[in-house]
Amino acid sequence: MKIALVTGGSRGIGKAIAVRLGSDAYHVIVNYRTNESEARDTLERIRSAGGSGELLSFDVSNAQEVSRALDQWHDANPDKKISILVNNAGLARDNLMVFMSDQEWKDVMATNLDSFFFVTRHLLQNMLVGKWGRIVNIVSLSGQKGLPGQVNYSASKGAMIAATKSLAMEVGKKRVTVNAVAPGFIRTDMTKDLDEKQLSALVPLRRFGEPEEVAEVVSFLVSEGASYITGEIISVNGGMYS
C-alpha cells in the first residue's frame, strides 16, 4: 500500500483530498498544526469510507518541526516510505500592499512557500532512491493571474508554480512526477466571507467549486494513469482563467 502525506489535511480542500486518497486505497497521513478535532474528523471520514490513515501534527513552516516529525515517523516505520506528497497547507492574510505589514507578508510566505521547500526536500530523497513518487502542489488562481489585496498570497502561489516546473525537470528521470492544481473560487472556510452570488457571475460555470472537485484532480495526478504528466498546472476554476 502506498503512503500519502497531505499537509493541512484537517479542513477544506485538504480534508477532501485526504478522504479521497483514503478511498483510493492509499494510507493517508493527515497533517495538521492545531485543529486536532477537525483532523480527527478527517481521519474518521477516511476510515468510514473504508480507508486507513493516521494523524501527524507539525508546523509545516518550521524546518526543525518538519524534520523532527518526519524523522520520528520514519524511525517508527522503518519498512515504510512516503511516496505521495500533497502540499496543501496554506494561509491568507489579505491586505492592500500599501497597508501590508511585514508580518502579513512573512506569515503567508512561510506557510505557503517555505513549507513546500521544507516538506518536499525531506521526502524527496526516498522517492528518488525508490524511483517512484508523486508530488502535487495546491496553488491558486491568484498565483496565475493575481488578485487585488493578495500580493503576498499571489507571490507565494506564483513561486510554487515556478518551483513545480523546475522540480519536475530535476526528478523526472527517477519516475517522480511534480504537478500543481490551481483552484479558483472553492466553497471552503477561506472563501466563506466572500460574496458568492456576486463572484459567481465572473465564473463561466456560474458557481463556486466544491473541495471534492479539486480532490478528483489530485486523485488522478497521483495515480499510475498520470505517469506521463509532470510539470503541469491544472486549473480547477470553472473557466475563469486558463
Q: What is the pLDDT of residues 34-81, one digit of tens each?
A: 999 999 999 999 999 899 999 999 999 999 999 999 999 999 999 999
Please tell me the predicted confidence (pLDDT) of residue 146: 86
Given a cut of 90, whether residue 230 has pLDDT beyond it is: yes
Query: In the predicted model, what is the mean pLDDT of residues 75-102?
Result: 96
189-229, pLDDT tens digit by residue? 777 777 788 888 888 999 999 999 999 999 999 999 999 99
Which residues are catalytic, by number? 153
97-121, pLDDT tens digit by residue? 999 999 999 999 999 999 999 999 9
Q: How far apart are CA 160 and CA 180, in angstroms?
A: 8
Residue with cell 477561506: 190
Please tell me the predicted confidence (pLDDT) of residue 159: 98
Architecture of the CATH domain 3-236 = 3-Layer(aba) Sandwich (3.40)
> What is the pTM (predicted TM-score) of this model?
0.95
CB within 8 A of 140, min separation 6: which ones?
Answer: 90, 153, 154, 157, 182, 183
